[in-house]
Amino acid sequence: MKILVVGGAGYIGGCTVDSLINNKNGHEVTVYDNLMYERMYLKPINFIAGDIRDEELYTSIVHKYDAVVWLAAIVGDGACNVKPSLTKEINYDCVKRLADCGYQGKIVFTSTCSVYGANNDLIDEYAEPNPLSLYASTKLQAERCLTTEFDEHGSLDNVLIFRLGTLFGLSDMHSRLRLDLVVNVLTKKAVKGEDLTVFGGEQWRPLLHVKDVAGAIAYGLDNDIKGLYNLSYDNFTILDLAKEIQETVENSVKIVESDISFEDMRNYKVVSDAYRAHGWSPSWTLKDGISELESIMKEGRVRDTENPVYSNAAYMGAESWTTQSWIA
């Protein structure tokens, strides 16, 4: 299968490309990316340097491929709030152009469980979305422009959409590590011997290792799965995941529960039974991911962990988007 991975040099893209090119079915993979966080693309596969806002360029390219994996996005509430007009253009307008360009192949699109907002129930795919941020709203709008009517069987017309839980872990050896994700940033603090400050702590999050996203995408393409699915490993409160980090990392660190109110009002637990029923299952536990992060940080493979390039919001707010190679 000829597959175009749009945003294939990013955090999810790095390991997704690896999963596809190492696949037993021998997929022919091309990456389309503007290298926002990287200086160059290092993997020995087809690469197209391009901006998804260049409608003429990418709509002329997509028709050459059997499948398009769309990972390109401004990701996270903070980053989206830095540049709201750009967020709408990237997260919604560009996806709508893909939906409207007459492409006949398979589309895999990554959305977010943030579309559920605040909900105390255990949420499946039929729960009413309640987006509380620009990020969640633009992702939900993009979902809807890609899909036909979501029928009672959950089938969509040649589209596979994943509502992803909160990601953690290392993607691959080339893509930058994100240190604005709760597990990753708290693990970084623990490795450095710093206290783990938790705001509130009772908020629920569905967690998922980034490599399990890659595995789910490859599995969906190989088995021609269609529909809209929640994707997670398990649900944790912020306090519980901090305790898991405290118990896993070798350093002795304290958890500090702060009384300061936190502006992020999201709270949700999801089930991903629908996708697991197709035969997929996650491979990485939370403890596995924490240990992996601890290892690469202690080995010195992540340089200058306070650099804004590791945070989407901080980097979006920086005057220059010029990057170095941050992972050796």
CB 255 within 8 A of CB 186: no
Helical axes 11-21 vs 210-222, angle rounded to 10°: 40
**Tokens 């290892």 belong to residue:** 295
Output the pLDDT for position 200.
79
**CA separation for the pair 223, 50 (Å, rounded):** 30
Output the pLDDT for position 261.
62
Please state the domain extents for the chain. Answer: 2-317
Nearest alpha-carbon partner for 106 in 163, 151, 146, 50: 146
Output the pLDDT for position 260.
66
* Confidence (pTM): 0.92
Residues in a beta bridge with 160: 108, 227
Helical axes 286-298 vs 182-191, angle rounded to 10°: 50
**pLDDT tens digits, 133-177:** 999 999 999 999 998 644 444 456 799 999 999 999 999 988 899
More confident residue, 155 or 126: 126
Distances in whole angstroms, Cα of residue 86 to Cα of each of 77, 81, 92, 323: 13, 10, 10, 20
**2-317 in CATH: which number?**
3.40.50.720
**CA separation for the pair 72, 160 (Å, rounded):** 15
pLDDT band at 325 (very low <50, low <70, confident <90, very high): very low
Q: DSSP 3-state assignment of 172?
A: coil
